[in-house]
């Protein structure tokens, strides 16, 4: 894709499943046998999502959750229209760190739309693990944000819905769409210039 209309960043501690969430959304797959690997800096991928019959190219930045990469990952927050802060409902520490990620984001991109995402829903549903983060605390904390969603990268539950809602919220934002339209016009002019001066 030559351009991205919306930029989404994923934040959260390591092991919460950010990369699995992105892979499930973009490639519609989940591989439980793949050994865990730390994301270094950030990984980028893109996908087209349609809203009201119109296609929008979405760029997704999966940032590192390890503390040693924090200084590096902050640069990826700039220009983000939306952020998904992930936590593992079965790991209280990942929830405790969530406030840190939100503060980090706000220092760089104050107007960014923020969504909380609880991962590994399939483990909770099957009672394989005990939930450590109470639902009422999550609901209270997420009231000041743009939404909260429980997802499962393994089954795909609520993954598509989460990203669809984010893009719909961006499309409904007049200021965001003004920037998108201006960028599209600018890119179109640049493409026209390239065609005029192309002698191949």
Domain boundaries, the chain: 6-173
Identify the pLDDT of residue 186: 85
Q: Stretch 124-145: mean pLDDT, rounded?
A: 91
In sequence order, what are the beta bridge partners of 84?
A: 10, 115
Q: For residue 89, is pLDDT > 60?
A: yes
Q: For residue 49, is pLDDT > 80?
A: yes
Q: How far is Cα 150 from Cα 63, in angstroms, rounded to an integer?
A: 20
Identify the pLDDT of residue 38: 57
Range name among 32-36, 170-174, 189-193 with the lowest pLDDT average:
32-36
Reported confidence tier of residue 128, pLDDT bands at 50, 70, 90: confident
Q: How far is Cα 52 from Cα 152, in angstroms, rounded to an integer?
A: 26
Q: How far is Cα 193 from Cα 47, in angstroms, rounded to an integer?
A: 27
Identify the pLDDT of residue 6: 96
Identify the pLDDT of residue 15: 87
The pair phi, psi for residue 110, each rounded to 5°, is: -70, -35
Q: For residue 120, is pLDDT > 80?
A: yes
CATH of domain 6-173: 3.40.50.300
Contact 79, 96 (CB under 8 A): no
Identify the pLDDT of residue 70: 61
DSSP state of 151: -
Q: For residue 126, is pLDDT > 80?
A: yes
Reported confidence tier of residue 69, pLDDT bands at 50, 70, 90: low
Q: For residue 35, is pLDDT > 90?
A: no
Reported confidence tier of residue 1, pLDDT bands at 50, 70, 90: very low
Identify the pLDDT of residue 197: 56
Name the residue among 57, 75, 8, 12 with its Cα closest to residue 39: 12
């Amino acid at each position: 894709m030559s351009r991205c209309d919306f930029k989404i960043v994923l934040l959260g501690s390591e092991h919460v499943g950010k990369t699995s969430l992105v892979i499930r959304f973009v490639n519609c797959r989940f591989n439980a046998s793949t050994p865990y690997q730390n994301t270094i800096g950030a990984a980028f991928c893109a996908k087209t999502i349609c809203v009201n019959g119109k296609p929008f190219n979405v760029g997704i930045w999966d940032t590192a959750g390890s503390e040693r990469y924090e200084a590096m990952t902050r640069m990826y927050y700039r220009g983000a229209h939306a952020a998904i802060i992930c936590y593992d409902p079965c790991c209280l520490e990942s929830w405790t760190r969530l406030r840190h990620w939100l503060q980090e984001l706000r220092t760089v991109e104050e107007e960014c739309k923020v969504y909380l995402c609880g991962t590994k829903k399939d483990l909770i549903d099957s009672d394989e693990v005990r939930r450590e983060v109470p639902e009422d605390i999550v609901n209270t904390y997420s009231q000041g944000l743009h939404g909260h969603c429980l997802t499962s990268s393994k089954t795909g539950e609520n993954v598509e819905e989460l990203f669809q809602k984010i893009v719909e919220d961006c499309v409904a934002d007049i200021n965001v769409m003004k920037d998108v339209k201006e960028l599209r016009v600018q890119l179109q002019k640049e493409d026209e210039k390239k065609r005029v001066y192309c002698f191949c």
